[in-house]
Amino acid sequence: MATSENRPRTRGLELLLVGLLSGLALVDVALLASPFGVPAEPVRLLLAVGAFGAVALAVALGVVGPRRYAVGAVASVPLAVLYAYTGLLLPWTQFSYWFAQSGLELVLRFPFVGEPLAVALFGGFTLGEATLGAAFHYHYAVVGLGVLAALSVCVSLFRRRSAPASRSPAEDAG
Protein backbone atom coordinates (compact mmCIF):
# COMPACT_ATOMS: atom_id res chain seq x y z
CA MET A 1 0.00 0.00 0.00
CA ALA A 2 1.32 3.47 -0.85
CA THR A 3 2.20 5.59 2.14
CA SER A 4 1.44 9.31 2.29
CA GLU A 5 5.09 10.15 1.63
CA ASN A 6 5.06 8.11 -1.62
CA ARG A 7 1.88 9.67 -3.01
CA PRO A 8 3.46 12.77 -4.61
CA ARG A 9 6.12 10.59 -6.23
CA THR A 10 3.60 8.05 -7.51
CA ARG A 11 1.19 10.73 -8.67
CA GLY A 12 3.93 12.28 -10.79
CA LEU A 13 4.87 8.89 -12.24
CA GLU A 14 1.22 8.11 -12.91
CA LEU A 15 0.80 11.39 -14.78
CA LEU A 16 4.01 10.72 -16.70
CA LEU A 17 2.72 7.25 -17.67
CA VAL A 18 -0.62 8.66 -18.82
CA GLY A 19 1.19 11.37 -20.78
CA LEU A 20 3.52 8.88 -22.42
CA LEU A 21 0.69 6.52 -23.43
CA SER A 22 -1.41 9.42 -24.69
CA GLY A 23 1.52 10.90 -26.58
CA LEU A 24 2.29 7.59 -28.24
CA ALA A 25 -1.32 7.21 -29.34
CA LEU A 26 -1.58 10.80 -30.60
CA VAL A 27 1.64 10.64 -32.62
CA ASP A 28 0.65 7.26 -34.03
CA VAL A 29 -2.79 8.47 -35.09
CA ALA A 30 -1.18 11.61 -36.56
CA LEU A 31 1.04 9.32 -38.67
CA LEU A 32 -2.09 7.52 -39.80
CA ALA A 33 -3.78 10.78 -40.76
CA SER A 34 -0.84 12.17 -42.75
CA PRO A 35 1.40 9.26 -43.76
CA PHE A 36 3.38 11.27 -46.33
CA GLY A 37 4.00 14.42 -44.27
CA VAL A 38 6.82 13.13 -42.09
CA PRO A 39 9.59 10.57 -42.49
CA ALA A 40 7.82 7.58 -40.95
CA GLU A 41 10.76 5.29 -40.22
CA PRO A 42 12.53 7.41 -37.53
CA VAL A 43 9.21 8.33 -35.93
CA ARG A 44 8.14 4.68 -35.83
CA LEU A 45 11.45 3.78 -34.20
CA LEU A 46 10.87 6.43 -31.51
CA LEU A 47 7.35 5.10 -30.96
CA ALA A 48 8.74 1.58 -30.49
CA VAL A 49 11.25 2.85 -27.93
CA GLY A 50 8.46 4.79 -26.22
CA ALA A 51 6.35 1.64 -25.91
CA PHE A 52 9.11 -0.08 -23.97
CA GLY A 53 9.65 3.12 -21.99
CA ALA A 54 6.01 2.96 -20.89
CA VAL A 55 6.52 -0.61 -19.68
CA ALA A 56 9.66 0.41 -17.75
CA LEU A 57 7.84 3.40 -16.26
CA ALA A 58 4.95 1.20 -15.12
CA VAL A 59 7.41 -1.22 -13.49
CA ALA A 60 9.04 1.72 -11.66
CA LEU A 61 5.61 2.90 -10.59
CA GLY A 62 4.86 -0.58 -9.26
CA VAL A 63 8.07 -0.52 -7.24
CA VAL A 64 7.32 2.77 -5.45
CA GLY A 65 3.53 2.56 -5.46
CA PRO A 66 0.71 0.10 -5.94
CA ARG A 67 1.89 -3.29 -7.18
CA ARG A 68 -0.88 -3.43 -9.77
CA TYR A 69 1.21 -1.23 -12.04
CA ALA A 70 4.11 -3.70 -12.03
CA VAL A 71 1.74 -6.59 -12.70
CA GLY A 72 0.10 -4.64 -15.50
CA ALA A 73 3.51 -3.77 -16.96
CA VAL A 74 4.61 -7.39 -17.05
CA ALA A 75 1.29 -8.42 -18.58
CA SER A 76 1.61 -5.70 -21.24
CA VAL A 77 5.05 -6.78 -22.51
CA PRO A 78 3.57 -8.91 -25.35
CA LEU A 79 1.42 -5.95 -26.40
CA ALA A 80 4.44 -3.63 -26.38
CA VAL A 81 6.39 -6.11 -28.51
CA LEU A 82 3.48 -6.46 -30.96
CA TYR A 83 3.04 -2.67 -31.10
CA ALA A 84 6.73 -2.04 -31.74
CA TYR A 85 7.11 -4.83 -34.29
CA THR A 86 4.02 -4.01 -36.32
CA GLY A 87 4.77 -0.30 -36.14
CA LEU A 88 8.20 -0.87 -37.63
CA LEU A 89 6.62 -2.85 -40.49
CA LEU A 90 4.16 -0.14 -41.51
CA PRO A 91 6.47 2.19 -43.50
CA TRP A 92 7.27 -0.87 -45.68
CA THR A 93 10.78 0.25 -46.49
CA GLN A 94 13.69 -2.05 -47.24
CA PHE A 95 14.39 -2.29 -43.50
CA SER A 96 10.73 -3.14 -42.82
CA TYR A 97 10.74 -5.86 -45.46
CA TRP A 98 13.93 -7.39 -44.04
CA PHE A 99 12.51 -7.15 -40.51
CA ALA A 100 9.27 -8.85 -41.61
CA GLN A 101 11.15 -11.58 -43.47
CA SER A 102 13.29 -12.28 -40.39
CA GLY A 103 10.20 -12.43 -38.18
CA LEU A 104 8.39 -14.73 -40.60
CA GLU A 105 11.34 -17.11 -40.76
CA LEU A 106 11.60 -17.10 -36.97
CA VAL A 107 7.91 -17.89 -36.51
CA LEU A 108 8.00 -20.68 -39.09
CA ARG A 109 10.75 -22.45 -37.09
CA PHE A 110 8.35 -23.26 -34.25
CA PRO A 111 6.95 -26.77 -34.69
CA PHE A 112 3.16 -27.19 -34.76
CA VAL A 113 2.32 -23.53 -33.99
CA GLY A 114 4.62 -21.84 -36.50
CA GLU A 115 2.44 -22.20 -39.58
CA PRO A 116 -0.85 -21.07 -37.98
CA LEU A 117 1.00 -18.24 -36.25
CA ALA A 118 2.55 -17.13 -39.55
CA VAL A 119 -0.88 -17.03 -41.17
CA ALA A 120 -2.32 -15.07 -38.24
CA LEU A 121 0.55 -12.57 -37.88
CA PHE A 122 1.76 -12.22 -41.47
CA GLY A 123 -1.27 -13.17 -43.53
CA GLY A 124 0.45 -16.21 -45.03
CA PHE A 125 3.80 -17.86 -45.64
CA THR A 126 5.12 -15.10 -47.89
CA LEU A 127 5.26 -11.35 -47.45
CA GLY A 128 2.89 -9.13 -49.36
CA GLU A 129 -0.19 -6.99 -49.10
CA ALA A 130 -1.75 -9.35 -46.55
CA THR A 131 1.28 -8.81 -44.30
CA LEU A 132 0.77 -5.05 -44.36
CA GLY A 133 -2.94 -5.45 -43.69
CA ALA A 134 -2.33 -7.71 -40.70
CA ALA A 135 0.38 -5.39 -39.32
CA PHE A 136 -1.96 -2.41 -39.70
CA HIS A 137 -4.86 -4.13 -37.92
CA TYR A 138 -2.75 -5.47 -35.06
CA HIS A 139 -0.89 -2.21 -34.62
CA TYR A 140 -3.98 -0.04 -34.32
CA ALA A 141 -5.74 -2.58 -32.10
CA VAL A 142 -2.83 -2.20 -29.67
CA VAL A 143 -3.08 1.61 -29.99
CA GLY A 144 -6.71 1.32 -28.92
CA LEU A 145 -5.71 -0.80 -25.93
CA GLY A 146 -3.07 1.79 -25.02
CA VAL A 147 -5.69 4.52 -25.06
CA LEU A 148 -7.90 2.39 -22.80
CA ALA A 149 -4.96 1.85 -20.43
CA ALA A 150 -4.31 5.60 -20.27
CA LEU A 151 -7.99 6.24 -19.59
CA SER A 152 -8.04 3.65 -16.80
CA VAL A 153 -5.06 5.31 -15.11
CA CYS A 154 -6.82 8.68 -15.44
CA VAL A 155 -9.98 7.27 -13.86
CA SER A 156 -7.87 5.79 -11.05
CA LEU A 157 -6.24 9.17 -10.43
CA PHE A 158 -9.60 10.94 -10.47
CA ARG A 159 -11.12 8.47 -8.00
CA ARG A 160 -8.19 8.85 -5.66
CA ARG A 161 -8.38 12.65 -5.71
CA SER A 162 -12.15 12.81 -5.25
CA ALA A 163 -12.27 10.17 -2.49
CA PRO A 164 -12.69 11.63 1.01
CA ALA A 165 -9.58 11.47 3.15
CA SER A 166 -9.66 8.63 5.64
CA ARG A 167 -9.36 9.63 9.26
CA SER A 168 -7.51 7.77 11.94
CA PRO A 169 -9.30 6.50 15.09
CA ALA A 170 -7.31 9.01 17.16
CA GLU A 171 -8.77 11.89 15.12
CA ASP A 172 -12.29 10.52 15.58
CA ALA A 173 -11.83 10.27 19.37
CA GLY A 174 -10.47 13.77 19.84
Q: Which residues of 13-32 are buried (b: 16+ CB within 10 A; e: fewer)?
A: bbeebbebbbebbebbeebe
What's the pLDDT tens digit per position in 138-154?
888 888 887 787 777 77
- Total-model pTM: 0.75
Is residue 109 assigned to a domain? yes
Range of the domain at 119: 7-161
**CATH assignment at residue 28:** 1.20.810.10
**Count of domains in the chain?**
1
- pLDDT digits 0-9 by tens, 74-126: 888 888 888 888 888 888 888 888 988 998 899 889 889 888 888 888 888 88
Torsional class of 127: left (φ above 0), alpha (ψ -120 to 50), beta (otherwise): beta
Query: Which among 114, 116, 78, 121 has a CA at the least distance from the CA of 100?
Result: 121
Domain annotation covers residue 173: no
